[in-house]
Structure 1
Amino acid sequence: MPEKEKLRIDKYLWAIRMFKTRTLASDACKAGRVKLNGTNIKPSHEVRTGETYQISKGPDRKVILVAGLLENRVDAKKAVDYYQDITPVEQTTAFKSMFHAPVLKRDRGTGRPTKRDRRETDDLKDNFFEKPEGEKEQ
């Protein structure tokens, strides 16, 4: 694929498969979910190699470093070569675990839970959000 010197951020994000359509990438830029050094950018912003962008997409937060410019959309294996995901691992796992509560499922056909089952379920839910011993509040 030939590299271009000038490339819009919405087209770049679509080409590296951060967004499914170019319109979604453009809307994310307009809504302030794509940032360059903490400042919002327009969809027409020109991408340069070496720049770092912060992208918010639903509950996911990504920090990417532009490794190369890609004009057309390619398959996912090739698209990875044109950016580096430099999102801190602590940030992603901490953010995701904050929203995931335990999902309790019962086998189909087991009937209604007994009082004992209900108490065990409530104890599990209550203890999930407590801090483990040794960690202090901030």
Structure 2
Amino acid sequence: MSDSIRLDKWLWAARFFKTRTLATTAVELGRILQNGQRVKPAHGVKLDDMLQIEHAEQVWEVKVLRVLEVRGSATVAQTMYQETEESAEKRAKAAQDKKYYREPGASVAGRPTKRDRRQLDFTRN
């Protein structure tokens, strides 16, 4: 086991992304911060690094506990990091808010039809 691994490979092995390509794209778009800074996908991840991961409308702040190069089961992946308490609370609150409030235009795909527009106007009033 080495002491450093590529960031995109770690994100894939920790099961934050389904493929390394998705992880690489997220890093390149600046959705992953390592110790508060933007980095490239090939940047090394070491133990005790802090990562901020934005993916699928959720934000995780995690501390790296293990560095593995292989993608294992979900239980193994969960041992690779520890989420901060603030991050867990924020994600739980966001999930609760999303459960009780749904954006009126979220169900409309593309340009709204006349019927969709009426329903959107009705919910705003």
Q: Which bin holds the TM-score, normalised by the shorter protein?
A: 0.7 to 0.9
- Name which one, 1 or 2, has greater alpha-carbon Rg: 1
| Residues 56 and 62, structure 1, Cα contact 8 Å, conserved in 2 | yes
Report the aligned-residue RMSD: 2.2
Query: More displaced, 84-93 or 31-40?
Result: 84-93
- Give runs of aligned pairs for residues 90-129 of structure 1, distance below 5 A: 90-102=89-101
Partner residue in 1 for 2:7: 9
Counterpart AA for 1:91: K
Q: If the length of structure 1 is used for normalisation, what is the TM-score?
A: 0.67
**Are 2:54 and 1:56 equivalent residues in the alignment?**
yes
Partner residue in 2 for 1:25: 23
Distance 1:23 1:40 in 2: 18
Return the structure number with greater strand share: 2
Distance 1:69 1:93 in 2: 27
Cα deviation per residue 1:3-38 (whole Å; 9 max; x = unaligned)?
A: 212310000010111110000000000000000232
Q: For 2:5, what is the secondary structure of its paired residue?
A: coil
Say how many residue pairs are matched. 104
| Residues 64 and 87, structure 1, Cα contact 8 Å, conserved in 2 | no
Q: If the length of structure 2 is used for normalisation, what is the TM-score?
A: 0.73
Distance 2:92 2:75 in 1: 24
Partner residue in 2 for 1:35: 33
| Residues 48 and 69, structure 1, Cα contact 8 Å, conserved in 2 | yes
Distance 2:20 2:85 in 1: 23
| Residues 65 and 82, structure 2, Cα contact 8 Å, conserved in 1 | yes
Partner residue in 2 for 1:136: none
| Residues 59 and 96, structure 1, Cα contact 8 Å, conserved in 2 | no
Cα deviation per residue 1:43-99 (whole Å; 9 max; x = unaligned)?
A: 011000001100000211101110010101101111111111225233113333444
Partner residue in 2 for 1:73: 71
Partner residue in 1 for 2:109: none
Q: Which runs of 5+ in 2 are unaligned?
A: 103-121
